[in-house]
């Protein structure tokens, strides 16, 4: 103990360290294997379907002839998820702001948090069923199956994801920033809009993307709400096609060409979500610099 | 422990006489009368009466937990932002009770600015926007001149004039703190509350802040909380010593450090406890 020199790292410590490193690396590898396999199969099986026509023509629905492309499904997914996000994102972020900035530890806030947790765990098909029973059977809006009803089910699915992730991020905004703004004489709503939300924005966007990606890939809430048609539709009060529904229908067919279309559509869906993520990153980086 | 005591027992240089300070704009006086403050059941400030003379710096000293921060936070009504916290008594800005009926808390905070212990510039805003934030957050138009004059007032202009559009968090800690001072000055307050404004900074930055306090006295009334005895001696015209939520003694800084009336004050300033 009197010596100034530090004892060398013991062989045992070295071995333990190596072992720990190796097992962490191994686990990472194990986690990456299925991901890599999924991507590999998607590309391998789906790339054959991809062509310009694939994106620009609607499915024909014919079993033996030319199966057509997936245009109506892409547009339908964009339209339905877009409407769902337009509703779920402001509401979800609003609820999160209320929880963090106003509700805090109140009884109501606890109840809302609990409710959101329950909603997160509800299987997506239940949202579909709920909309089916309330809106489809009842013929709300003068239609049975309709895109806006599909959007409703998707919005219900997105709401807890957006709210929960936004709440977590808002809680991370340091109180020192709120204090600084209040000490400048800012009213509460301005503190929220000018200081808290901009600071939390990157995190909120991440949560929103997560919710969008999740909704874009859901089949169950659309099965008996928006149903599916082959033709491109822009009317929210009509049935609309979507990528998950198209994949669902085609993948079970006894026709290799149709199965290939399902793979192509899956590849397209993944690519779309990837592009959305990249786009959001880009926008965030831009706004950071200015 | 020993170096702390040594630091406190070193002879302290009294602040330059107030007569040397040209008064550019007469600021307002703050008078705290029979202030009591609670956090839930905890009585943190007890019956405190204290005046902050206009265009003078008053230092608040005392051991940790003695209620210094609570007092300054009561002056601009930041205390009430904490859930469960409440206060009673009067805080007069000249003749107006900031706790009076119908007094807008927003107006109070515009008149009484605050600088915190840790620099807290808004991370999403540029240097310019940080300074402009106070004005924008209170719905006033912001001109470049206002921002420039606030940054000059905080002694930061020369260092940042070429990078006003860069993020405020890209500055050094000391620069960030002066940015926060500029942000507080931009709304042209009458009073500036500083809660240990230099305790997170290096000695050079600390010195800059202290020089700044001297300059700012010509514009505002200053209340500065500090744990650093020399700092109190260097910047304050008047010093108040607090203990357990009570005001033990207040007087000219020189007197508090050389010849206090209360033995507890003497023990504290000579480093015998705290
Ligand atoms: N947010 C809070 N909630 C509950 N009690 C608090 C809170 N802030 C301060 N207190 C209590 O009030 C008393 C006074 O605290 P205050 O922060 O005013 O002391 P201080 O003199 O500024 O101390 P320091 O020098 O450590 O900053 C302390 O006993 C403290 O525990
Ligand atoms: Mg304090």
Q: Is residue A113 part of a domain?
A: yes
Extract the tokens encoding A285: 């980086």
Environment class of B35 (CB within 10 Å of its CB; exposed 0-12, middle 13-18, buried 19+): buried
Helix axes A243-251, A256-289, angle to 10 degrees: 160
**How far is B271 from A64, CA to CA, in rounded Å?**
95
CA-based nearest residue to B168, from B216, B119, B97: B119
**Strand, coil or helix: A236:** coil
pLDDT at A208 over 90: yes
A-interface mutation test, from B124, B182, B190, most A Cβ less than 10 A away: B124
**Residue B68 C-alpha to ligand 2 middle, in angstroms?**
6
Please give the full DSSP string across B82-110, using - where no structure is assigned: STTEEEEEEEEETTEETTSTT--HHHHHH
Res A139: pLDDT: 86
3-state secondary structure of B261: coil
Ligand with minimal distance to B40 CA:
1
User: What residues are paired with A248 via a beta bridge?
Assistant: none
What does the pLDDT look like over B1-16, one tens digit per residue? 444 344 434 444 444 4
Q: Does A80 share its domain with A25?
A: no
Task: Reply yes or no on whether the pLDDT at B18 is more than 50.
Answer: no
Contacts of A175 in chain B (CB under 8 A): none
d(CA B174, CA B178): 6
Residues A203 and A72 in one domain: yes
One domain for residues A150 and A44: no
Question: pLDDT tens across A153-206, in order?
Answer: 999 999 999 999 999 999 999 999 999 999 998 888 899 999 999 999 988 998
Q: Searching chain B, which residue's CA lies closest to the CA of residue A174? A: B120
Provide the domain limits for residue A42: 11-49
Q: Is B42 in the pocket of ligand 1 (CB under 6 A)?
A: yes
Q: Which residue of A has its CA nearest to B123?
A: A199
What is the pLDDT, as a whole number, of residue A65?
80
Mean pLDDT (whole number) for B93-103: 92
Query: Is A179 an 8 Å CB contact of chain B?
Result: yes
Name the band, by pLDDT with cuts 50, 70 and 90, for residue B139. Answer: low
Q: What is the pLDDT of residues B158-187, one digit of tens each?
A: 999 999 999 999 999 999 999 999 999 998
Structural domains counted in chain A: 2
Nearest CA to ligand 1 atom 24: B64
Chain A, chain B: beta-carbon pairs less than 8 Å apart: 71
State pTM to two decimals.
0.83
* A231 dihedral zone (left: phi>0; alpha: psi -120 to 50; beta): beta
User: Has residue A278 been placed in a domain?
Assistant: yes
A125 and A30 in one domain?
Answer: no
Domain assignment present for residue A2? The answer is: no
Are the CB atoms for B159 and B177 separated by under 8 Å? no
Half-sphere exposure of B72 (CA within 13 A, CB side): 29
Closest ligand 1 atom to the C-alpha of B227?
Answer: 25
Please, is B10 exposed, middle or buried when counting C-beta atoms within 10 Å of its C-beta (0-12, 13-18, 19+)?
exposed
Q: Work out the pLDDT band at A2, boundaries 50, 70, 90.
A: low
CATH number at residue A203: 1.10.3720.10
CA B34 / ligand 1 centre spacing (Å) = 19
Residues of B in contact with A102 (CB under 8 A): none
Task: Give the CATH fold of the B28-269 domain.
Answer: Rossmann fold (3.40.50)
Rounded CA-CA distance B112/B63 in Å is: 25
Question: In whole numbers, what is the pLDDT of chain B averaged over residues?
Answer: 88
pLDDT in tens, A211-243: 999 999 999 999 989 888 888 889 999 999 999
Q: Would an 8 Å CB–CB cutoff place B120 in contact with chain A?
A: yes
Evaluate whether ipTM surpasses 0.90.
no
B39 touches ligand 1 (CB under 6 Å) = yes
Query: Does B192 contact chain A (CB < 8 Å)?
Result: no
């Amino acid at each position: 103990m009197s010596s100034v020199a530090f004892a060398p790292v013991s062989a045992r410590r070295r071995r333990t360290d190596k072992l720990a490193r190796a097992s962490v690396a191994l686990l990472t590898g194990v986690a990456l294997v299925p991901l890599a396999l999924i991507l590999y199969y998607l590309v391998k099986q789906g790339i054959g379907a991809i062509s310009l026509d694939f994106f620009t023509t609607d499915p024909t629905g014919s079993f033996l002839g030319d199966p057509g492309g997936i245009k109506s499904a892409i547009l339908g997914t964009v339209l339905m998820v877009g409407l769902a996000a337009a509703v779920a994102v402001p509401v979800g972020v609003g609820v999160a702001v209320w929880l963090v900035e106003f509700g805090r530890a109140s009884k109501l806030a606890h109840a809302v948090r609990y409710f959101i947790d329950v909603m997160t765990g509800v299987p997506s098909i239940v949202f579909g069923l709920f909309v089916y029973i309330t809106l489809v059977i009842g013929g709300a809006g003068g239609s049975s199956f309709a895109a806006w009803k599909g959007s409703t089910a998707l919005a219900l699915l997105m709401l807890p994801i957006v709210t929960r992730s936004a709440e977590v991020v808002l809680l991370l905004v340091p109180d020192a920033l709120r204090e600084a703004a209040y000490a400048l004489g800012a009213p509460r709503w301005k503190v929220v809009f000018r200081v808290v939300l901009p600071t939390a924005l990157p995190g909120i966007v991440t949560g929103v993307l997560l919710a969008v990606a999740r909704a874009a890939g859901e089949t169950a809430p659309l099965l008996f709400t928006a149903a599916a048609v082959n033709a491109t539709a822009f009317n929210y009060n009509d049935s609309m096609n979507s990528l998950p529904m198209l994949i669902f229908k085609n993948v079970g067919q006894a026709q290799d060409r149709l199965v290939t279309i399902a793979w192509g559509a899956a590849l397209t869906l993944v690519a779309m979500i990837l592009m959305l993520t990249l786009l959001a990153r880009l926008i965030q980086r831009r706004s950071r610099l200015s | 422990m020993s170096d702390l005591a040594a630091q406190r027992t070193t002879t302290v240089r009294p602040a330059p006489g107030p007569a040397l300070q040209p008064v550019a704009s007469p600021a307002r006086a703050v008078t705290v009368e029979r202030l009591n403050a609670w956090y839930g059941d905890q009585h943190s400030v007890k019956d405190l009466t204290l005046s902050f003379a206009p265009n003078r710096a008053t230092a608040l000293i005392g051991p940790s937990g003695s209620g210094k921060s609570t007092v300054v936070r009561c002056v601009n009504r930041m205390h009430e932002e904490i859930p469960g916290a409440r206060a009673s008594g009067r805080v007069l800005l000249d003749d107006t009770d900031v706790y009076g009926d119908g007094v807008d808390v927003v107006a109070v905070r515009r008149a009484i600015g605050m600088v915190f212990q840790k620099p807290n510039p808004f991370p999403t805003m540029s240097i310019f926007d940080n300074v402009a934030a106070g004005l924008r957050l209170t719905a006033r138009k912001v001109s470049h001149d206002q921002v420039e004059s606030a940054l000059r007032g905080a002694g930061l202009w020369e260092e940042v004039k070429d990078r006003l559009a860069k993020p405020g968090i890209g500055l050094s800690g000391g620069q960030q703190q002066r940015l926060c001072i500029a942000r507080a000055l931009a709304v042209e307050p009458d009073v500036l509350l500083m809660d240990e404004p230099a305790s997170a900074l290096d000695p050079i930055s600390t010195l800059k802040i202290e020089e700044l306090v001297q300059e700012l006295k010509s514009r505002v009334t200053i209340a500065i909380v500090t744990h650093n005895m020399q700092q109190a001696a260097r910047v304050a015209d008047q010093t108040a010593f607090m203990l357990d939520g009570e005001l033990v003694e207040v007087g000219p800084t020189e007197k508090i450090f050389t010849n206090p009336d209360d033995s507890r004050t003497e023990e504290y300033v000579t480093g015998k406890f705290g």
